[in-house]
Amino acid sequence: MDAYSGEQETGMTAHMGTARLGPAERSAALAQMAAQELDVVVVGGGVVGAGVALDAATRGLSVGLVEARDFASGTSSRSSKLIHGGLRYLEQLNFDLVREALQERALLLQRIAPHLVRAVPFLFPLTHLGWERPYVGAGLVLYDSLGFSFGFTRGVPGHRHLSRKRALRLAPALRRSAFTGAIQYWDAQVDDARYVMTMLRTAAAYGAHVASRSQVVGFLREGERVTGVRVRDLEAGEELEVRARQVVNATGVWTDDIQALVGGRGQIHVRASKGVHLVVPRDRIHSYTGVILRTEKSVLFVIPWGRHWIIGTTDTEWSLDKAHPAASRSDIDYVLDHVNSVLSVPLTRDDVEGVYAGLRPLLAGESDETSKLSREHVVAHPVPGLVMIAGGKYTTYRVMARDAVDAVAHGLAQRVPPSCTDRIPLAGAEGYQALWNSRHRLARESGLHVARIEHLLQRYGSLIEEVLTLIADRPDLAGPLSGADDYLRAEIVYAATHEGARHLNDVLTRRTHISIETFHRGVAVAQEAAELLAGPLEWDAEQVKREVEYYTKRVEAERASQEQDTDQEADAIRMGAPEIVPVASD
Ligand SMILES: Cc1cc2nc3c(=O)[nH]c(=O)nc-3n(C[C@H](O)[C@H](O)[C@H](O)COP(=O)(O)OP(=O)(O)OC[C@H]3O[C@@H](n4cnc5c(N)ncnc54)[C@H](O)[C@@H]3O)c2cc1C
């Protein structure tokens, strides 16, 4: 048996820790979806759609999920990667939203995904003497106390007040004159793209059929009722009909496009607001803690991210291309100007390794200021057979998914058990703590450095065993990629065999984050990575060349767009680089 094969898992026989999303599983999932009437088909493989698939599958429903591009390639890989209550919602007195989000934070940290969700400290620099410390301090007392839930502890340490001197010890990079003192508090962070993929693997282990590069291009109808979707398998160029008793639309900023496919006036309208983040190397900002800064409209975070910092974000209306929102020079300057206002050694554009932009799916409201629009979600049942879910934020995906599947259950007119996802750990969570405690043994046995094992454990949890087995079978995969040494060659192969990656871009952007974590943005490792993917994805030399060319063009177009002053110019240049698997135009 070669390293790529292995026992075929069907949804029904799969068990936790072994559900894989390789090419064979994708074909099997599409065949299964075409062959039967499902209880539910979910449109969209972002965090909300993946959450709906897991919620429905664990209630015993038969489920399919189709995603037009790569899993999490929309907003769900482009967020600030925080699992948080949102301090600014507290300031807007939206206590219910904050409480709900903090309860989710506790659950994700401690039960659902302790391998993927981690506590992270933030420093809140105070700039006014007198009123500000008691005001922010009171908010943080509330923030900390709202975080207790489900019989769990908060999962993160409480806040503490700091003098300017002590704050400077934690964050020597801050300019002394930029603040008067500080408060440190804790939140949590997640690798957003990997979380979605892991949730889809978990859903598949509970029987869900999931397929990427499968676009919904129309709806099946019987009279007014929606009875399924027409799906184009974008890899094979074929169309299939997926019949389902209920369809759930979880397409984020594409919600209105899907509504247009259904016809009629939709009940939900979603508009997009762009947020841009910069990534800089860790050594450019000397600090042992993240930092949160107030801006005119909202807040700006400086977030520790492995050997890097993520800095963002912006908040501006966006009505151009939704799949590849472009960051302009003005966006980058905005972020740099704000962070530089507190740094003693300012960052320049030369310090920027990576840039990414994402679109918030905001429920269209009265206010013209996108940052004031609601982050809460809505569920609608516009016609029989169709449930729409939109809005919300990453942190509360599980609540959104539960509400959507409750609406599905209503439409199925049968007894469906209540949601149980608060008790369903994601793949890799079970056994994670024990393996973390045994990391020195794992390092000895595998011959890898303990720091490497820690990195792997925080990406795979207990599924690390599968990656280590792959390395044991193929020692040539034990070394790092030359040019992106945070990642092992084995991880590239595993992304294709187990994690649903189908193209080079999927691996360099979402299974790893090489595209934002290196100054070359992945171009220097593209050839090596493509050659590693060629085996499991059955590419010939021509396809390897194509993958590298498409990836390189994408990076060039992004770099050029980031030199443009306006969104329109940046978008026009970004659109010059085609997708390797184009989606069907509406
Ligand atoms: C800059 C920024 C920062 C953020 N930071 C945070 C944060 O720190 N914490 C937090 O909690 N939230 C944050 N959010 C919000 C959070 O990221 C989003 O609310 C969440 O990711 C939305 O997920 P989704 O599944 O609704 O949408 P998406 O992830 O966009 O998923 C929708 C999917 O539908 C697919 N699709 C579209 N049309 C079709 C079709 N016809 N057929 C099949 N598939 C289709 C798309 O390809 C896409 O993958 C942030 C958002 C942004 C933009």
Instruction: Render pLDDT for 482-505 as a digit per residue (tens, 0 to 9).
Output: 999 999 999 999 999 999 999 999
Protein residues whose CB sits closer than 6 Å to any atom of ligand 1: 43-49, 66-69, 73-76, 78-82, 84, 215-216, 250-254, 258, 275, 313, 358-361, 392-395
Smallest CA separation from ligand 1 atom 21, residue: 76
Lowest mean pLDDT, pick from 29-33, 97-101, 134-138, 151-155: 151-155
Q: What is the pLDDT of residue 150?
A: 58
pTM of the model: 0.96
CA of 258 to the centre of ligand 1 (A): 15
Q: How many whole angstroms from 210 Cα to the centroid of ligand 1?
A: 17
Q: What is the mean pLDDT of the chain?
A: 93
Task: Please name the residues in contact with 43: beta carbons below 8 A apart, sequence gap of 6 or more.
Answer: 49, 66, 216, 229, 247, 248, 249, 250, 251, 258
Sorted by sequence, the CB contacts under 8 Å of residue 326 that are 6+ apart come out as 320, 357, 558, 561, 562, 564, 567, 570, 571, 573, 574
Q: Is the dihedral of CA 135, 137, 140, 144 positive or negative?
A: negative
The confidence score (pLDDT) of residue 2 equals 40
CA 542 to ligand 1 centroid distance, Å: 33
- Distance (Å) from CA 384 to ligand 1 centroid: 25
What number does the ligand 1 atom closest to the CA of 360 have? 53
Nearest CA to ligand 1 atom 14: 79
Domains of the chain by residue range:
23-76+194-269+366-423, 118-189+271-363, 432-576
Q: pLDDT tens digits for 235-294? A: 999 999 999 999 999 999 999 999 999 987 777 899 999 999 999 999 999 999 999 999
* Mutation to probe ligand 1, out of 52, 65, 76, 100 (largest number of atoms < 8 A from CB): 76
Four-residue CA torsion sign, 80, 86, 87, 93: positive
Residue whose CA lies nearest to ligand 1 atom number 3: 79
> Distance of CA 255 to CAs 5, 98, 269, 320, 469, Å?
38, 25, 7, 15, 42
Q: In this predicted model, what pLDDT tens digit does every residue of 146-198 receive, in sequence order? A: 877 656 788 899 999 999 999 999 999 999 999 999 999 999 999 999 999 99
Closest atom of ligand 1 to 81 CA is: 8
pLDDT of residue 149: 64
| Integer Cα distance of 504 and 267 in angstroms | 38
Structure letter (DSSP) for residue 254: G
Mean pLDDT of 545-565: 97
Q: Is 208 helix (H, G, I), strand (E, B) or coil?
A: coil
Atom of ligand 1 nearest to the CA of 323: 47
Which one of 107, 196, 394, 583 would you pick to mutate in the ligand 1 pocket, going by the greatest count of ligand atoms within 8 A of its CB?
394
* Probe target for ligand 1 pocket from 42, 75, 235, with the most ligand atoms within 8 Å of CB: 75
Beta bridge mates, 183? 124, 161
83 three-state secondary structure: strand
Mean pLDDT value across residues 118-122? 98
362 CA to centre of ligand 1 in angstroms = 10
Q: What is the mean pLDDT of residues 17-35?
A: 93
- pLDDT given at position 364: 85
Q: Which atom of ligand 1 approaches the CA of 258 most closely?
A: 41
Instruction: Tell me the CA–centroid distance for residue 361 and ligand 1, in Å.
Output: 7
Atom of ligand 1 nearest to the CA of 274: 53
- Taking the CA of residue 50 as reference, the ligand 1 atom at the shortest distance is 25
**CA separation for the pair 354, 348 (Å, rounded):** 13
Tell me the mean pLDDT in the region 323-352: 97
Report CA Rg, the chain: 23
CA 275 to ligand 1 centroid distance, Å: 12
Count of CB atoms within 10 A of residue 525's CB? 28
Q: Classify the phi-psi angles of 17: left when phi > 0, otherwise alpha if psi is within -120 to 50, otherwise beta.
A: left
Outline where DSSP puts E strands in 333-475. Answer: 354-363, 377-380, 386-391
Q: How confident is the model at residue 388 (pLDDT cuts 50, 70, 90)?
A: very high
Question: Is the confidence at residue 369, as pLDDT, over 90?
Answer: no
What is the rounded distance in angstroms from the CA atom of residue 296 to the CA atom of residue 300?
Answer: 10
For the segment 508-535, what is each residue's pLDDT rounded down to a tens digit?
999 999 999 999 999 999 999 999 999 9
Please name the residues in contact with 247: beta carbons below 8 A apart, sequence gap of 6 or more.
40, 41, 42, 43, 219, 226, 228, 229, 385, 386, 387
- pLDDT one-digit tens code per residue, 429-477: 999 999 999 999 999 999 999 999 999 999 999 999 999 999 999 999 9
Tokens representing 261 are 């496919």
Architecture of domain 23-76+194-269+366-423: 3-Layer(bba) Sandwich (3.50)
Q: Which residues make Cβ contacts (< 8 Å) with residue 329, sequence separation at least 6?
A: 562, 563, 564, 565, 570
Which one of 393, 399, 586 would you pick to mutate in the ligand 1 pocket, going by the greatest count of ligand atoms within 8 A of its CB?
393
Nearest to 223 by CA among 14, 403, 383: 383
Class of domain 118-189+271-363: alpha beta
CA-nearest of 248, 328, 290, 202 to 39 is: 248
Q: Which amino acid is at 342?
A: V
Q: Which atom of ligand 1 is nearest to the CA of 394?
A: 11
